[in-house]
Amino acid sequence: MAQGDVSKPNVVLIIADDLGWSGLGSYGSDLHETPNLDRFAAEGMKFTSFYAASPVCSPTRASILTGKYPARLHMTTHFENTGDYWRNYGVEHIDSTHLLQQPVTVGNLPQREWTLAEALRDDGYFTAHVGKWHLGNVEHYPENHGFDLNIGGTQWGSPDTYWYPWTGNKTWMHIRYIPGIVYGAGKGSYLPDRLTDMALEVIEDRGDQPFFLHLAYHTPHTPMEGKPELVKYFKEKVKPGMKDTNPDFAAMVYSLDENVGRVLNKLNEEGISEETIVIFLSDNGGRTEDFRDWGPITNNAPLKAGKGSLYEGGLRVPCIIKWPGKTKPHASSDFPLVTIDILPTVLDMVGLKKPRPLVDGFSFAHMLSHKGDEVAREAIFWHYPHYYPGTTPVNAVRMGDWKFIHYFDTDSIELYDLSKDLGEVNNVAGENPLVAKQLFASLSLWRADIRAQMPTRNKYFRE
């Protein structure tokens, strides 16, 4: 391992789970209260056209750590729906209800992938993962992907419960647990609080090396379990006609914000906030469909739809970055960026030259240091060959203000002008056939180029 270089900035990357674009106060929520993240947004740079590379968890997380499109990794769906997961059971994932068969995808982030953690560790960083991993079985846990320390990371997505001991008796997910956080905790301990306790210890116990903290909260993903006093508070605050109306979700967002505040305060207390890059983002849009007993989870308005969908509500997420000495307070950008850009951007920010992983993403470090306001990329692409509540297998591209969507099962196309129609209400493919044709060609070429896995005719389908 290279010697630590104290002149290198620390990197804290905080990932929220299923927090939609308009889920923070500073991004337009009328119910949620997020004073810490709002203050952080005012101190750092706020991105308003930042996209998840996938509308669901695992693929976006893989894109952050590898800088690659999920379709190139063949990691296009959440772990519990992948070929690697179903293979554990020795069965084919048979679904007779859908016209198309999803491809057999990768759920275990391949060990040959060179992750952001490996790049930083090889550059002398101490690397710690705390929280949700969701990128494969035990052989593919964080400790096998460049992290010196793994607290809480497993193959699973959401926890069975947010309450101590974070496993147990609630649902079929009772076998899920969060390792490495039980000792020293007790009854009433709430998961995001506990993960933060551990993250603060990582910060306190740092040695002479710079550190990379990959802090992935499960919050505000289901199960809907806010702290009772907060749920009560937001129940009383909800008024008819509000955009956001779910007090449980609001309580969970409040706890997320409070814990991000604890991390930021700790950096101040330790006197290292001026030498620590902090990035906050979410892994996909908020869930809008009814789910179990919780009803609709949240609302991403003015964006359309939510988690699982390639409409803006499924993809566009909050993203705030503070690079001390570089980003200016109250800075913002609406230039389209995507989670595959995080890896090259972080490596640029810490001054890592070579060797570097080959990636699909573009560095936007120059945007953060106000030496430019865009990256030289023609388009951003998405490929989601899966069914999910609210969508059928689909792929999409954003080029300039145009957004083009193609559904595989109906072979139907949609074109939206996001500059006039952020809510994707008016399909203008008919009025702009040349634009639609160009974007469709570009999307098809990209799919072929990265060898995206395609859905096939489902032989088990019964009308």
- List residues near Ca ion by CB under 5 A: 17-18, 57, 283-284
Nearer to Ca ion, 19 or 443 (CB): 19
Residue of 223, 213, 51, 57 whose CA lies nearest to 125: 213
Nearer to Ca ion, 43 or 248 (CB): 248
Other CB atoms within 10 A of residue 459 CB: 8
Q: What is the smallest separation between the CB atom of 319 and Ca ion, expressed in angstroms?
A: 14
Q: What is the smallest separation between the CB atom of 113 and Ca ion, expressed in angstroms?
A: 20
Q: What is the smallest separation between the CB atom of 339 and Ca ion, expressed in angstroms?
A: 12
Nearer to Ca ion, 25 or 286 (CB): 286
Nearer to Ca ion, 211 or 388 (CB): 388
Please name the residues in contact with 105: beta carbons below 8 A apart, sequence gap of 6 or more. 74, 75, 76, 77, 81, 82, 83, 84, 453
Q: What is the smallest separation between the CB atom of 410 and Ca ion, expressed in angstroms?
A: 26
Distance in angstroms (rounded) separating the CA atoms of residues 168 and 177: 8
Nearer to Ca ion, 28 or 55 (CB): 55
Cα 202 to chain centroid, rounded: 22
Other CB atoms within 10 A of residue 174 CB: 12
For residue 81, how many C-alpha atoms fall within 13 Å in the half-sphere facing its CB? 20
Other CB atoms within 10 A of residue 262 CB: 16
Which residues is 308 bridged to in the sheet?
A: none
Which residues is 16 bridged to in the sheet?
A: 282
Distance in angstroms (rounded) separating the CA atoms of residues 144 and 134: 13
Which residues is 416 bridged to in the sheet?
A: 403
**Positive or negative torsion for Cα 70, 72, 74, 76:** positive
Distance in angstroms (rounded) separating the CA atoms of residues 435 and 441: 10
Q: What is the smallest separation between the CB atom of 64 and Ca ion, expressed in angstroms?
A: 12
Q: What is the smallest separation between the CB atom of 271 and Ca ion, expressed in angstroms?
A: 34
Nearer to Ca ion, 23 or 357 (CB): 23
Q: What are phi and psi of 126, to 5 degrees?
A: -85, 130
Contact 425, 304 (CB under 8 A): yes
Other CB atoms within 10 A of residue 444 CB: 14
Contact 403, 396 (CB under 8 A): yes
Nearer to Ca ion, 31 or 57 (CB): 57
| Separation in Å, CA 21 to CA 39, 54, 303, 319, 376 | 17, 14, 8, 9, 24
Q: What is the smallest separation between the CB atom of 307 and Ca ion, expressed in angstroms?
A: 7
Q: What is the smallest separation between the CB atom of 91 and Ca ion, expressed in angstroms?
A: 26
Percentages (nearest 5) of helix, strand, coil residues in the chain:
30, 15, 55
Nearer to Ca ion, 10 or 309 (CB): 309
Q: What is the smallest separation between the CB atom of 109 and Ca ion, expressed in angstroms?
A: 16
Nearer to Ca ion, 120 or 216 (CB): 216
Cα 420 to chain centroid, rounded: 26
**Positive or negative torsion for Cα 68, 72, 76, 81:** negative
Q: What is the smallest separation between the CB atom of 238 and Ca ion, expressed in angstroms?
A: 24
Q: What is the smallest separation between the CB atom of 195 and Ca ion, expressed in angstroms?
A: 16
**Positive or negative torsion for Cα 158, 380, 301, 290:** negative
Q: What is the smallest separation between the CB atom of 61 and Ca ion, expressed in angstroms?
A: 8
Nearer to Ca ion, 123 or 283 (CB): 283
Sole residue written with tokens 């960026």:
337
Residue of 226, 116, 117 whose CA lies nearest to 161: 226
Nearer to Ca ion, 18 or 424 (CB): 18
Closest CB to Ca ion: residue number: 57
Nearer to Ca ion, 157 or 247 (CB): 157
